[in-house]
């Protein structure tokens, strides 16, 4: 397996990692088999989150059977304040059956207001720093779907890693990845298959790994066959040839006609709808087959796709000219 250094953490990790969202669908024993297969295939980086229902618990069960010391373990929390993060760290340690977590990340920081709360005196960052001093957390990272907010994190000096979507369709972070890499931050790529929209997984992963600013790509996996297929990209890594590049970029271009990159330029919506998140959750429902989980998350939104009054302001701001109103109707048809 090709190994890369996770920025200034100094951790040597596999270029293909394990995304922990889909593991929610399997039982404990199969989860343990997945962890065992990761080790067999040379994948040593695991990423999960408090918000992925039982993902931490399932991974913890597998680690308990096949060895915590074989893996670099990352998780994350949506908590924004000190007390909430302090509590979540303890829950993660218990769930993952470990005395320490290699990388604890602030999960999906979306706005400047959220970011400012996190770094305030009573914010979540303080709890993470204390946990680091106590040895419970080794390194601190930040994830986001908002490029402007993530850039604040890169420039701050607070974080060891960043995590952002990147694939042949979503390439808006390439310059920020270069900057992060030059500053010694590890770069973790989520959504390497565009939430399952990209059909040619191998070519997409190979495209991503050509970017030397990237530390690791973390496709979500819930089967042994998926692990074998994705690990093969790192175990037998080779650059794309011209024909392969044309294939994957053509697919990306085709997806681009109605594909949300979650850039956030459509905001603000007069009805308070978080438009990119509507499409994100619909993707989990339709492409990841996480129907119950996605439905539950969708119902938590205070303003939903169904609240759209079709004013069209979002479409005037979208740099990709997406038919956002029609796409929101699709969300309503699927999620209500």
For residue 149, the model assigns a pLDDT of 94
pTM of the model: 0.84
Residue by residue, pLDDT tens for the chain (336 residues) are 999 999 999 999 999 999 999 999 999 999 999 999 999 999 999 999 999 999 999 999 999 998 899 999 999 999 999 999 999 999 999 999 999 999 999 999 988 999 999 999 999 999 999 999 999 999 999 999 889 999 999 999 999 999 999 999 999 999 999 999 999 999 999 999 987 788 899 999 999 999 999 999 999 999 999 999 999 999 999 999 999 999 999 999 888 767 787 777 799 999 999 999 999 899 889 877 789 999 999 999 999 999 999 999 999 988 778 899 999 999 999 999
The pLDDT value recorded for residue 257 is 66
Cis-peptide, bond into residue 268, ω within 30° of zero: yes
DSSP string, 234-296: HHT-----HHHHHHHHHHHHHHGGG------TTPPPTT---HHHHHHHHHHHHTS--HHHHHH
Q: How many C-beta atoms surround the C-beta of residue 136 within 10 A? A: 18
What does the pLDDT read at residue 101? 98
Q: Where are the domains of the chain?
A: 3-246, 275-335
CATH topology of domain 3-246: TIM Barrel (3.20.20)
């Amino acid at each position: 397996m090709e190994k890369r250094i996770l920025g200034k953490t100094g951790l040597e990790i596999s270029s293909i990692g394990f995304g922990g969202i889909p593991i929610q669908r399997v039982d404990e024993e199969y989860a343990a088999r997945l962890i065992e297969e990761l080790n067999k295939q040379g994948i040593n980086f695991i990423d999960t989150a408090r918000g992925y229902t039982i993902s931490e618990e399932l991974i913890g069960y597998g680690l308990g059977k096949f060895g915590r010391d074989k893996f670099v373990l990352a998780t994350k929390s949506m908590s924004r304040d000190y007390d909430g993060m302090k509590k979540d760290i303890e829950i993660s340690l218990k769930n993952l059956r470990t005395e320490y977590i290699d990388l604890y990340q602030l999960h999906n920081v979306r706005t400047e207001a959220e970011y400012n709360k996190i770094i305030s005196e009573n914010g979540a960052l303080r709890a993470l720093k204390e946990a680091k001093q106590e040895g419970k957390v080794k390194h601190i990272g930040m994830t986001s779907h908002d490029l402007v907010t993530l850039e604040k994190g890169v420039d701050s000096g607070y974080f060891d890693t960043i995590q952002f979507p990147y694939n042949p369709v979503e390439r808006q972070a390439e310059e920020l990845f270069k900057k992060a890499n030059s500053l010694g931050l590890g770069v973790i790529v989520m959504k390497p298959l565009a939430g399952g929209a990209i059909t040619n997984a191998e070519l997409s992963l190979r495209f991503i790994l050509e970017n030397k600013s990237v530390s690791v790509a973390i496709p979500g996996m819930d089967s042994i066959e998926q692990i074998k297929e994705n690990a093969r990209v790192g175990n037998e890594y080779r650059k794309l040839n011209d024909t392969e590049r044309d294939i994957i970029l053509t697919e990306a271009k085709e997806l681009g006609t109605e594909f949300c990159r979650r850039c956030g330029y459509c905001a603000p919506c007069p009805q308070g709808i978080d438009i990119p998140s509507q499409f994100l959750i619909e993707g989990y429902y339709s492409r990841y087959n996480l129907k119950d989980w996605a439905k539950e998350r969708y119902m938590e939104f205070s303003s939903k796709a169904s609240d759209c009054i079709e004013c069209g302001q979002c479409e005037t701001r979208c740099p990709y000219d997406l038919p956002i109103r029609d796409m929101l109707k699709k969300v309503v048809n699927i999620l209500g």
